[in-house]
Structure 1
Amino acid sequence: MLRPIALGIYLLFFAVGLVGALVIPTLSLFLANELNVRPLLVGIPFAGIALASIIYNQSIGYWSDRLADRRPLVSSLCVLGAASCLVFAFSRQYWLVAGVAVVLFSLSMVSFSQLLAYSLDYAERCIPLERIPLYNAVVRAQIAFAWVAGPPAGFLLAAHAGFKVTYCLAAGLFAVVALLVVRFLPRLQAPRPFEETAATKSPTTMAPLSWKPLLLCFCAFSLMWGANNAYLISLPLYLDRELAIGSEWVGWIMGTCALLEVPFMLLSGYLAMRIPVLVMVRFAGIAGLLLYTGVYFSSELWQLFSLQLCNAIFIGVLAGLGVSVIQQLMPGRSGSASALYTNTTHAGALFSSLMVGLVADYWNYQTVFLFNVFLVCLAIAAFAMVRQPAAHPERPA
Structure 2
Amino acid sequence: MRRHPDLAGSALLWGLQFAFLAPALTLLLVTLYDASMSEVGWVIACYQGAGFVAQLVIPAWADRRRDYLLPMLAAGLFTIALAIALWFATSLSMALVALLLLGAPAGVGGSMLFAELKHQGAGLQDVTSVRAVFSFAWIIGPPVATLVIGSLGSRALLVAVAIIALVNLGLTVHMMRARSRRTLDEPVLAEATAAVGKVPVGLALLSFVLTGATNAVAVAVITLFVTEHLGLAPLWAGLCLGLCALLEIPVLVLSGRLAINRPKFPLVVVGSALALLYYLGLLVVDSPWMLLLLQVPNAVFIALIEGLGLAWVQEIIAAPGMASGMFMNTRRVGSVLSGVVISLGSAGAAGVAGVFVVCAVLAAVALVLLLVAGRMLRTA
TM over 0.5: yes
- Partner of residue 44, structure 2: 46
Give the distance between the partners of 1:68 and 1:253, measured in 2 at CA: 41
Deviation at 1:115, TM superposition (A): 1.6
From 85, 104, 111, the equivalent of 1:106 is: 104
Contact 1:30 1:163 in 2 (8 A): yes
How far does the alpha carbon of each residue in 1:34-73 deviate from its partner, in whole angstroms, 9 at most, with x for none?
4332211121222122211111101111121111432222
- Partner of residue 336, structure 2: 350
Mark the CA change 1:243 to 1:34 in structure 2 (over 3 Å): closer, same or farther: farther
Deviation at 1:276, TM superposition (A): 1.5
- Partner of residue 394, structure 1: none
The 5 Å alignment of 1:276-295 reads: 276-295=263-282
From 176, 179, 183, the equivalent of 2:174 is: 183
- Partner of residue 129, structure 2: 138
**Given residue 233 of structure 2, which amino acid in structure 1 is its aligned partner?**
G
Alignment of 1:245 onto 2:232: yes
Deviation at 1:74, TM superposition (A): 1.3
From 255, 278, 296, the equivalent of 1:268 is: 255
Deviation at 1:242, TM superposition (A): 2.7
Q: How many residues align?
A: 373
Deviation at 1:189, TM superposition (A): 3.5
The 5 Å alignment of 1:62-77 reads: 62-77=60-75
Give the distance between the partners of 2:96 and 2:224, measured in 1 at CA: 25
- Partner of residue 18, structure 1: 16
Give the distance between the partners of 1:205 and 1:233, measured in 2 at CA: 37
TM-score (norm. length: structure 1): 0.88
Deviation at 1:8, TM superposition (A): 0.6
Contact 2:189 2:317 in 1 (8 A): no
Contact 1:117 1:335 in 2 (8 A): yes
SS of 1:65's partner is: helix
Alignment of 1:217 onto 2:204: yes
Give the distance between the partners of 1:45 and 1:220, measured in 2 at CA: 27
**Given residue 210 of structure 2, which amino acid in structure 1 is its aligned partner?**
L
From 152, 155, 161, the equivalent of 1:164 is: 155
Give the distance between the partners of 2:190 and 2:296, measured in 1 at CA: 45
SS of 2:64's partner is: coil
Mark the CA change 1:53 to 1:253 in structure 2 (over 3 Å): closer, same or farther: same
How far does the alpha carbon of each residue in 1:362-384 deviate from its partner, in whole angstroms, 9 at most, with x for none?
44211111111111111111111
Deviation at 1:244, TM superposition (A): 2.8
| Structure 1 portions without partners, runs of 5+ | 391-397
Contact 2:274 2:298 in 1 (8 A): yes
TM-score (norm. length: structure 2): 0.92
Contact 2:345 2:357 in 1 (8 A): no
Give the distance between the partners of 1:204 and 1:373, measured in 2 at CA: 33
How far does the alpha carbon of each residue in 1:21-45 deviate from its partner, in whole angstroms, 9 at most, with x for none?
0011111122233433221112122
From 351, 354, 359, the equivalent of 2:345 is: 359
Which shows bigger deviation, 297-306 or 49-58? 297-306
**Given residue 171 of structure 1, which amino acid in structure 2 is its aligned partner?**
A
Contact 2:48 2:332 in 1 (8 A): yes
SS of 2:43's partner is: helix
Contact 1:61 1:336 in 2 (8 A): yes
How far does the alpha carbon of each residue in 1:168-215 deviate from its partner, in whole angstroms, 9 at most, with x for none?
0101111221221122343344445xxx3xx53xx8994534212211
Give the distance between the partners of 1:205 and 1:23, measured in 2 at CA: 34
Alignment of 1:327 onto 2:314: yes
- Partner of residue 338, structure 1: 324
Contact 1:230 1:356 in 2 (8 A): yes
Give the distance between the partners of 2:203 and 2:221, measured in 1 at CA: 27
How far does the alpha carbon of each residue in 1:139-171 deviate from its partner, in whole angstroms, 9 at most, with x for none?
111110100000011111111111121110101
Give the distance between the partners of 1:150 and 1:387, measured in 2 at CA: 36
From 274, 283, 290, the equivalent of 1:296 is: 283
Give the distance between the partners of 1:383 and 1:326, measured in 2 at CA: 12
Give the distance between the partners of 2:369 and 2:124, measured in 1 at CA: 21
Give the distance between the partners of 1:259 and 1:52, measured in 2 at CA: 31
Deviation at 1:312, TM superposition (A): 0.7
Identity of aligned residues (%): 25
Give the distance between the partners of 1:38 and 1:221, measured in 2 at CA: 31
SS of 1:66's partner is: helix
- Partner of residue 151, structure 1: 142
Give the distance between the partners of 2:80 and 2:372, measured in 1 at CA: 43
Contact 1:66 1:204 in 2 (8 A): no
